[in-house]
Chain A
């Protein structure tokens, strides 16, 4: 489903990804772990099409198409979804209005009829239960005044409504207490399916107790330096990132 080959990317003139290779098949959940500055979030941002990041080399193929050629909206329409590490607050745009516009554009792209207000509301209410969210938030502005936990829940809720083929969770666990973490993880688990792949980017093993990955990759210095099964995450928990960040430390 997703083929990343020799990916190099820079931000603000600095090379962050230095030849990253990764293959993700349909239905697989891959965890990307690594110390701060290893390029985890850059990978997530590059895949979602943030223009602050420049790809200088390499290819990313999604369902046989060149992902890097696509605008962020086209990637979303093709089924890529990123849960933001720092979801953006958008005062004046209600969650309901925003999500309906998003879903209907994506449905249109999939040759599905647009949902009317009634059907949309029914869908949204059903998916809200999954995330244990209060319906009152639908009429509130997108993320405006939300707590950190509410924002992360809202990300997963959007994912539940938009039903992507590939979900990228960028440090979804950061800033969550254990109760919020469980709610978010339960939501993510409910969305696991043989048709949906996920990339879970995290610094801590903690999240992976709740979202158990099929594969774990360690990112260091802009490359994947080790890959394994879920047990690799536990290993990292034991050792920390010792041995993976020496070069970074020296570089400083």
Chain B
């Protein structure tokens, strides 16, 4: 497509695209991204998330960053097997994997198309048998002359009967744009734990698309912690085969003027699958959050058992939460429940703690911690659990 026809919003991406090496896949994805453009708030899925702060900026393709600063950031993270990226470039292990086997269709998803267009170094974890320790994929973003963008791409494949944990962490400083895509393929009977720890800089933009494909009888638990970012959105799509079990838990915490958006779709495509979903949010100051949880139960997905809960703790009068459950049920012998709550800290509980000598601030902190703990509690690795709890 000639540059003249491209809108002002998209032009910087095309300019950046001209400067990176490309294959026909990159080319096709870029063309599709230019056709789709950025989503607008006229689209139902983006109604409450205004992308203008992101789309009016332009970003340079990622370049190497300061390895010393990166090393310091890494030393604060729990030890274990790691795949480390700095400004989108893979640091360790050194040999980057650039061949992509994807099941994710970018034609309908502008951010997936954009990610695919700029695809370079991948994080691939392929598990056969039992993974002894969690694999930690770490994305560090450090500032340069102009705001940068990176398009992290993760592919986690668990063969039939495989078991293990993968953890994605996003950390950074200053203003940048991370547009991540993660695919999790769980083979028949696989047991997968996935944790996403988003603690981007408070000025950063973070868009993440997670696609989970579950084979028969597989068990996938995904926990998502959205703690950073000026504007952050995580979209999780899970497709469930017969007898599989999917747990999506998460916590989002925003303050200042920040905005966080969580959108999940659990697709009960086959019978006898179970899904549990628990998302909790904490909002302070003038922040805003969106939770949209859709559960689809296909026509032949009988004996589906789906439960969705969204609880929000709103600590200020100026914060805004939009929560929306969506159930689309086409089978008749199913059990689906959903519930959403929005509330403040309980004044009786605060008084009870204070009446025992605990100061007001400490009492509030204790109750907030109690609210969040449930989400971190289930993380299998104690080192990571302790680490995540220390951040909350």
Contacts and interface: CB of A to CB of B under 8 A. Distances in A.
Given A72-B351, A87-B352, A90-B349, A162 B374 contact: no
B360 A71 contact: yes
B354 A92 contact: no
B381 to A, nearest CB: 21
A88 B356 contact: no
B247 to A, nearest CB: 19
Interface string B357-381: 1111011001101110110000000
A29 to B, nearest CB: 21
Interface stretch (A2-10, A101-109, A120-128, A220-228): A101-109
Given A50-B351, A72-B351, A101-B362, A90 B370 contact: yes
Contact of B356 (A50, A76, A92): A76
A12 B346 CA distance: 19
Contact of A93 (B348, B360, B366): B366
B353 A90 contact: yes
A77 B357 contact: yes
B102 interface: no
Contacts of B346: 88
B7 interface: no
Contacts of B357: 73, 76-77, 102-103, 105-106, 109, 162
A158 interface: yes
B355 interface: yes
Contacts of A84: 352, 355
A105 B358 contact: yes
Interface in A15-57: 48-51
User: Max chain A CB contacts within 10 Å: which of B346, B349, B357?
Assistant: B357
B354 A91 contact: no
Contacts of B374: 92
A245 B284 CA distance: 49
B355 A72 contact: yes
A198 B374 CA distance: 39
B360 A92 contact: no
A82 interface: yes
A49 B355 contact: yes
Interface string B326-358: 000000000000000000001011011111111
A5 to B, nearest CB: 23
B358 A90 contact: no
Contact of A76 (B348, B355, B360, B369): B355
Interface residues of A, number: 32
Contacts of A88: 346, 348-349, 351-352
A93 B345 CA distance: 14
Interface string A46-81: 001111000000000000000000011101110001
A92 B371 CA distance: 7
A102 B352 contact: no
Nearest to B362: A101
A223 B374 CA distance: 47
Contacts of A141: 370
Contacts of A81: 355-356
Contacts of B356: 76, 81, 98-99, 102, 158, 162
A239 B308 CA distance: 57
Interface in A186-243: none
Contact of B359 (A49, A90, A105): A105
Contacts of B352: 84, 87-88, 90, 142
A92 to B, nearest CB: 3
B168 to A, nearest CB: 26
Contacts of B370: 90-93, 141
A98 B373 contact: no
Interface string B5-43: 000000000000000000000000000000000000000
Interface in B126-172: none
A114 to B, nearest CB: 13
A93 B358 contact: no
13 contacts: A50-B351, A51-B351, A72-B351, A73-B363, A76-B357, A81-B355, A90-B349, A90-B353, A92-B374, A93-B369, A98-B366, A101-B362, A109-B357
Which 9 pairs across A and B sit closest by C-beta, in order of nearness? A92-B370, A76-B357, A102-B356, A88-B352, A72-B354, A106-B357, A105-B357, A73-B354, A93-B370
Interface of B: 346, 348-349, 351-360, 362-363, 366-367, 369-371, 373-374
Given A81-B356, A142-B352, 11 more contacts: A73-B359, A76-B356, A84-B355, A92-B370, A92-B374, A98-B353, A98-B356, A99-B356, A103-B357, A105-B359, A109-B357
